[in-house]
């Protein structure tokens, strides 16, 4: 999932809420070492959507043995994330939030102002996707995919998901620092100063980078737990529609 906008408190809260839900629901999950309660491998992926709309084209189960992907495949992931309808919708939400809070006064209000907010928000998303999923991974020979663990206690998986912001696989399969994530986001923030007239100082740039990495970390947590939450909601929905529930007990 790509979240490359200049995050604000309200936007971050949207993603923190499901993260806390995931952690609380699966904090008591059975450990992976328990053969009776834990599957031998992560569950199969449930589509390429988080919350049924946000694009999620770079989440995979870890292949065994590890298999790198080509430059073409890295750019395909970035392209799919960038031009997905969910990304366009997300840009629209960020644009509306920016206009409501008057984040860039020079953009103005009305349709013209919203158009500028939307164009810059969408540019943030696309530039961030290509920098962190295609360009820097290709240059640095790193893997842009998020490998979902899918087993183990919830808190262990939470730590794993957060750590994947800073650790990734090289194309040779070795674990190394995730330069693509950090340098890619830093480059995206630097480019954004060309079309955001406010906040072009170093302090603002560092703050934006920190918030960006934080939002991406929340995105990783959602990637890790969303299939579990989806299955839980599905089971509860089926239970609510069971024949027994349709006929109340009048005894």
Tell me which of 76 and 56 has the higher pLDDT. 76
pLDDT tens, residue by residue, 25-53: 555 444 444 434 434 344 444 467 888 88
Could you give the number of structural domains in the chain? 1
pLDDT averaged over every residue in the chain: 81
Angle, to 10 degrees, between the axis of helix 110-130 and the axis of helix 179-192? 150
Does the residue 4 lie in any domain?
no
**What was the pLDDT predicted at 30?**
41
Full-model pTM: 0.79
Does the residue 8 lie in any domain?
no
pLDDT tens, residue by residue, 114-138: 999 999 999 999 999 999 999 999 9
Does the residue 199 lie in any domain?
yes
Does the residue 240 lie in any domain?
no
**What was the pLDDT predicted at 20?**
56
**What was the pLDDT predicted at 96?**
95
Cα separation of 47 and 55, whole Å? 10
- Among 28-37, 43-52, 66-75, 160-169, the range scoring the smallest mean pLDDT is 28-37
Does the residue 242 lie in any domain?
no
- Kindly list the distances between the CA atom of residue 235 and the CA atoms of 50, 118, 242, in Å, as whole numbers in the listed order: 18, 38, 11
- What's the domain range around 146? 34-234
**What was the pLDDT predicted at 110?**
94
Tell me which of 20 and 78 has the higher pLDDT. 78
Does the residue 245 lie in any domain?
no
Tell me which of 151 and 199 has the higher pLDDT. 151
In this prediction, residue 54 has a pLDDT band, given cuts at 50, 70 and 90, of confident
**What was the pLDDT predicted at 111?**
94
Does the residue 47 lie in any domain?
yes
**What was the pLDDT predicted at 173?**
92
Tell me which of 197 and 133 has the higher pLDDT. 133
Above pLDDT 70, what percent of the chain?
75
Does the residue 201 lie in any domain?
yes
**What was the pLDDT predicted at 28?**
45
């Amino acid at each position: 999932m790509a979240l490359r906008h200049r995050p604000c408190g309200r936007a971050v809260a949207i993603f923190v809420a499901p993260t806390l839900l995931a952690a609380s629901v699966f904090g008591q999950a059975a450990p992976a070492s328990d053969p009776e309660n834990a599957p031998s491998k992560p569950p199969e992926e449930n589509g390429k959507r988080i919350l049924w709309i946000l694009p999620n084209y770079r989440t995979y189960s870890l292949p065994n043995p590890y298999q790198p992907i080509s430059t073409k495949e890295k750019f395909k992931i970035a392209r799919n994330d960038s031009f997905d309808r969910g990304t366009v919708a997300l840009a629209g939400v960020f644009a509306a939030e920016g206009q409501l809070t008057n984040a860039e006064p020079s953009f103005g209000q009305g349709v013209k102002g919203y158009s500028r907010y939307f164009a810059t928000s969408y540019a943030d998303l696309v530039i961030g996707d290509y920098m962190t999923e295609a360009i820097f991974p290709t240059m640095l020979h790193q893997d842009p995919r998020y490998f979902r663990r899918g087993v183990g206690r919830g808190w262990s998986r939470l730590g794993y998901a957060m750590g994947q912001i800073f650790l990734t696989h090289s194309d040779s399969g070795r674990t190394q620092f995730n330069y693509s994530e950090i340098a890619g986001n830093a480059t995206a923030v630097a480019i954004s100063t060309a079309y955001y007239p406010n906040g072009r100082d170093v302090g603002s740039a560092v703050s934006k980078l920190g918030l960006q990495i934080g939002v991406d970390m929340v995105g990783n947590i959602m990637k890790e737990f969303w299939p579990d939450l989806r299955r839980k909601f599905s089971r509860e929905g089926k239970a609510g529609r069971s024949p027994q529930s349709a006929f109340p007990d009048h005894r």
